[in-house]
Chains A and B, each alone.
Chain A
Amino acid sequence: MDAEITPIDPMLDDELAPESPPLSATMWMRENLFSTKANTVLTFVAVSIIAFIIRNVVAWIFAPNRGWEAVATNLRFYMVQAYPAGPEPEIPNQFVRVWVSAGSIVVLAALSLAAWKVGTKVAFTKLFATIRAAGAAVALVAFLGPPTQNLDLLSGIDFPVIGPLLAVAGSLLGFFIEAALMTGGRLVAFLIGAAIVVGAHLAAKATKPRGDDYGFHSLWMVFGAGAIVIVALWVVPFGHYFFLRGEVGFETGTIATSTSGPWTVIFLLAVGGYFLARWIVRLLGEKSLRSLLVLFWSLSLPVIVLFVLRDPDFNPAKDGGGFDFLPATDVWIWFIFGILGGLVIAGLSFPRLGELGRAASGLLVIGSLAMWAVPMLMRVRLIGFLFAMFAVGAQTFAGDRRARVRYVGLWVGLTTVLVVLFAAINTQSSLFIQGKTFLGGLTLTFVLALTSILLSFPIGLLMALGRTSSMPIFRVMSTMYIELVRGIPFITVLIFFDLILILFLPGNVEFDSVTLAILAGTLFSAAYLAENVRGGLQAIPKGQYEAARAMGLSTLQLTVFVVLPQALRAVIPALVGQTIAIFKDTSLVAIIGLFDFLFIADKVVPAQTIFLGIKLENIVFIAAVYWMFTFSFSRASLKLEKKVGLGEY
């Protein structure tokens, strides 16, 4: 049953097997490309298709009438949309807030890289092999690229049926003729590529005898890439836009130091922070640094969005004394729920309370639900609900004295954070907001995706538990919700929240469209998450439940300590997949008119007077950016998948 199967170590296998001589180029080609007649035909077809695509793509990219400067000039727009940029001369632009936000995230990331000791050793041999491949790709593209800028492969071909074939065959032939006649940029690119291939090949050969141990830390590549970007910011004339007396102005072929300067500082801080953190880890160990960073990460999203980018106006002097509700309500909410509630929770967590505690927490739950029936501030209802949940958990999770203190401390801390956040949401922003909302561009896309996935997580978890529960009402209702949401397209959910939700709420409640989109994304992805988690729950053997029950764990304890850790570990790949899907799905908010990354490329930039009608370039640009992010997510998830296998069965 439990036979110990030693996994075959691939490294070990390599050592034992006799070193097979490397295939020569012709041998390799014969084996992989021309092994049979059918294979040869396939190879030619595939090569023709690739040549055709590369040729046309290169021709399109380098065509003289391409409007790439529309993208370059609007890069800031793409990142943050019209984030308060001083429409009037006397209002200074607020980009410093963006730099502070981006800087904190980059530095936090650098610190985390050190704290979690990310990175492996990269062998020089492998690095040079990669460079060699990249050089070959450059040379190949240059080789296949069109000789003139406006090559139309299909023009002048008269025969409709054999036309495409002829065109492809002709262009294949043509490549060789043109290759001999390469001139200009194409020749330069080819030569550079060829030089890289030769240089990297020699270097790879030279480093090969020293083996895979001869290498460097992979983070140096990250830092190197960062340094290249910084240098590019100073050197390459991207172009930028600015606001002058309320009008948007553009200047192509220049670069604002207000971009390159801050990024240089951020980069230096990140590198410095990394080495500082390494030093701290060596000195004090990584445990405390890690918990500190987890705290920072979990606070970073609301703090950056609400405080740095939006700047809540706590100023009491402004119109009509907008401040007085703060001490009048929020402070009291904090006192009642945080301090008095903390005492109640501390009382409830006494082990000897028994049934009395259970009855009391049950009453609290009913009371918190009843708060939704009477008119009341939404934040009071939400905090009240959380309070009831904490009270239910008190018996379960706060057994001994230390656990009790920690539990109550957690509650007080959570209430404090929540009250401050609610207050921040409910105050006006002190910024003069340009667009519909203060968030826009890639920032909005990321905020939407991150908030939706984070908020949908607990809901999806509960829904999955409900669907696998033995209690029929929970099961039926979860199933109905999940199947309904999974049956309808996201766009209808978005439109529902955009148009309808407001009709169901009391007149004084208002949501801006970003909040509505987040709500839609949350409830939508919760259904999909629930299905993923259900898969994990079903994979847990029945014996685990029985053992936990036999030990006397309550249902809540069994779920938290035994079931969920295992289920979530099993579904990590699916969860990352869901995150990627949500990231892609955020592009749909462009349809309801939010200024997200796609909307700017689709509607905003092509409508600017000097870039009128330049659209495909913008779409291709954002497609490349989306691709970059999703592709690296999925690659990272593959690595994660291999890593979390540790300590299992």
Chain B
Amino acid sequence: MAIQIEEPRQRQQRVPPWRNVTFLKWAAQAVFLFAILAVFWILGSQAGSNLEDRGIDVSFGFLNTLPGIRLAEGIDVLPATGGRALYVGIVNMLRVTVAGIFAATVLGIIVGVSRLSKNWIVSKVATGYIETVRNIPLLVQIIAWGVVITTIPGNLGFETGPFGCTDPVSGCEGWFFLSNKGASFAWLFPADGFWQWFAFLGVGVAASIWVYRWRYHLKEERGDETYALTWGTLTVVAFAAIGWFVHPIMGFLGYLWGWISELLDSLPVWSLQAVLALLAVFFAGLWIKRFLDDRRTPAGLAKLTDDDIFRIGSAAFAGLVGVIVFFSLAGISEWILNSGRDLFSVMDDKFEFLDGGAPLSFGRPSLVQPGNFPNYGDTGLTMSKLFFPVFVGVTIYTAAFIAEVVRGGILAISKGQSEAGLALGLSRTQLLRFIILPQAFRIILPPMGNQYLNLAKNTSLGIAVAYPEVVAVGQTLYNQTGATIPVITLWMLFYVSVSLFISAIVNWYNRRVALVER
């Protein structure tokens, strides 16, 4: 059948740009990008002149000067520099975040499971808790807790029992105190040898994973029960116990960290700049290579569309921008080098103690000034009256959301799954262990990560009760120095990196689960 063509074939027909789909697509994007950049440029130049007129400081100089502020609590209440003050704020924020995540998870799981309980009253109590807590703004709750803790009359602790106070004038020790100064309770504190012991424990965990796999493998081979989990746990316990006495052998790590620290100190800045620039080129090249691999066909490289060429160009451009940035702004590399050096030198200090002191020490709270305005000693773990409302507020609030996540995860596993498991002859425990829990976990974890992220962000509401976390400290700093723009930039950087960190963990887990699924 001959191909007959009525009109002359218009090969390589010239398409006018305003009708070319590819051109239009990229033109719209370019206009948009240009508009955004223009807006930024206009705003930026306006800001420049405004700042000059008002004499507002935009430099980060305050990070290195004496701020002259006093923080209500933290690892360093009289910080020597603005940077140190922010660092104290970050540590405070992380403290309340970590404690809150731990407590909210425990409480949330209890409440979530309770809501599914067959016991009518238990499930109603859990429902009531969730519906009350999540419908009231968190800030209102935090402020309420702040009022509650500061209006407690005297001490509600148990300082007068057989374990408690015998001499109310000179003070006493107890187990748990609650007063308008906050709460104080017994706690295990890391002591001198802690980090060495911790490193030893890390070796133990690695060993226990190996032991677990070995026992599991044995079970697969022989078929009878090998108690893999028990063996694994016992290995960790054994390492913890042995490590209690022999932990100084990990002291060599201190020398290692010290050596790395010195190495980083001696490196010239240009070397890191070169490495970073090379990395930028490498990643751009890698992306382009992968992209081309994707387009490669057995018959050779497929014809690249206009879109593809634009994409490759953009990737190359991004790499180039990276190189220029790293070379023109030597400060970035310098900062990375210096922080790396400081980090390793701090770690060196932590591993320094070689006299074999105990890793942990136990302390009970003490009341040095009983009465209506009590004072706590430093032997117990004390939650200040500023820490308390933030901690209790975010814990109770987030727990309500975690409870819903947990409930949803358990309910999402269809009845069919349980029935299929039972039909296979699995026992109830096996059903839970092999069918329900793995699936529930997979469903629960991503939203759980989201809740942790919310909790971390919500700690910033501590500013309302003057808890010195990073936002409150930043506010004090810019009230003192007028450096609003740098402080807000640092806030954003900090929170974005926290959320990237948490979502990276969740994504990593998701990817792992997805791989297992295949």
Contacts and interface: CB of A to CB of B under 8 A. Distances in A.
A569 interface: no
Contacts of B120: 32-33
Nearest to A362: B18
A539 interface: no
B179 to A, nearest CB: 13
Secondary structure call for the A interface: helix
Contacts of B54: 503
B118 interface: yes
Contacts of B47: 503-504
A549 B57 CA distance: 55
A636 B139 CA distance: 24
A46 B18 contact: no
Interface residues of B, number: 77
B279 to A, nearest CB: 20
B18 A355 contact: yes
A160 B28 contact: no
B264 interface: no
B36 A49 contact: no
Secondary structure call for the B interface: helix
Interface stretch (A193-201, A274-282, A616-624, A639-647): A616-624
B42 A373 contact: yes
A160 B118 contact: no
Interface string A498-533: 011001111100000000000000000000000000
Interface residues of A, number: 68
A487 B499 contact: yes
B26 to A, nearest CB: 8
Contact of A484 (B19, B175, B496): B496
Contacts of B46: 504-506
B50 A622 contact: no
A164 B490 CA distance: 46
Given A159-B161, A372-B38, A46 B135 contact: no
Interface string A590-629: 1100000010001000000000000110011011001100
B119 A33 contact: yes
A584 B137 contact: yes
A602 B137 CA distance: 14
B485 A503 contact: yes
A50 B36 CA distance: 57
Interface string B146-173: 0110010000101011111000000000
Contacts of B147: 615-616, 619
A474 B491 CA distance: 26
A591 B18 CA distance: 52
A504 B457 contact: no
Given A42-B122, A158-B160, A487 B495 contact: yes
Interface in B116-131: 117-122, 125, 131
B463 interface: yes
Contacts of A584: 136-138
Contact of B161 (A32, A160, A362): A160
Contacts of B496: 483-484, 487-488
A360 B358 CA distance: 80
A631 B176 CA distance: 36
Contacts of A505: 43, 46, 50
Given A46-B119, A158-B160, A372-B38, A359 B499 contact: no
Contacts of A491: 460-461, 463, 471
A585 B161 contact: no
Given A160-B162, A373-B42, A471 B28 contact: yes
B430 interface: no
A136 B21 CA distance: 71
B135 A630 contact: yes
Interface in B270-305: none
Contacts, number: 185
Interface in A119-150: none
A432 B50 CA distance: 31
Nearest to B29: A473
Contact of A634 (B19, B118, B135, B492): B135
Contacts of B458: 489
B464 interface: yes
A159 B460 contact: no
Of the candidates B39, B135, B137, B499, the one having the most CB atoms from chain A within 10 angstroms of its own CB is: B137
A388 to B, nearest CB: 11
Nearest to B134: A630
A483 to B, nearest CB: 8
Nearest to A477: B36
A373 B43 CA distance: 10
Contacts of B471: 489, 491-492, 495
A524 B59 CA distance: 27
Contacts of A506: 46
A620 B38 CA distance: 49
A590 B139 contact: yes
A46 B122 contact: yes
Contacts of A626: 135-137, 140
Interface in A336-394: 355, 358-359, 362, 365-366, 369, 372-373
B119 A43 contact: yes
Interface string B195-233: 000000000000000000000000000000000000000
B475 interface: yes
B477 to A, nearest CB: 13
Nearest to B45: A504
B488 interface: yes
A413 interface: no
Contacts of B44: 504
A496 B490 CA distance: 12
A161 to B, nearest CB: 8
B369 interface: no
B291 to A, nearest CB: 12
A373 to B, nearest CB: 6
Contact of A42 (B119, B144, B156, B461): B119
Given A46-B125, A160-B161, A365 B50 contact: no
A47 interface: yes
Contact of B118 (A35, A158, A602, A623): A35
Contacts of A433: none
A616 B119 contact: no
B18 A489 contact: no
Interface string A161-183: 10100000000000000000000
6 contacts: A42-B119, A366-B31, A473-B32, A492-B460, A585-B137, A619-B147
Given A42-B119, A471-B28, A598-B137, 18 more contacts: A33-B119, A158-B160, A160-B174, A365-B31, A372-B35, A473-B29, A474-B29, A489-B457, A489-B461, A489-B471, A491-B463, A500-B485, A503-B51, A506-B46, A507-B53, A591-B461, A622-B140, A627-B135
7 closest A-B pairs by CB: A160-B158, A160-B161, A487-B499, A32-B120, A473-B29, A489-B457, A630-B135
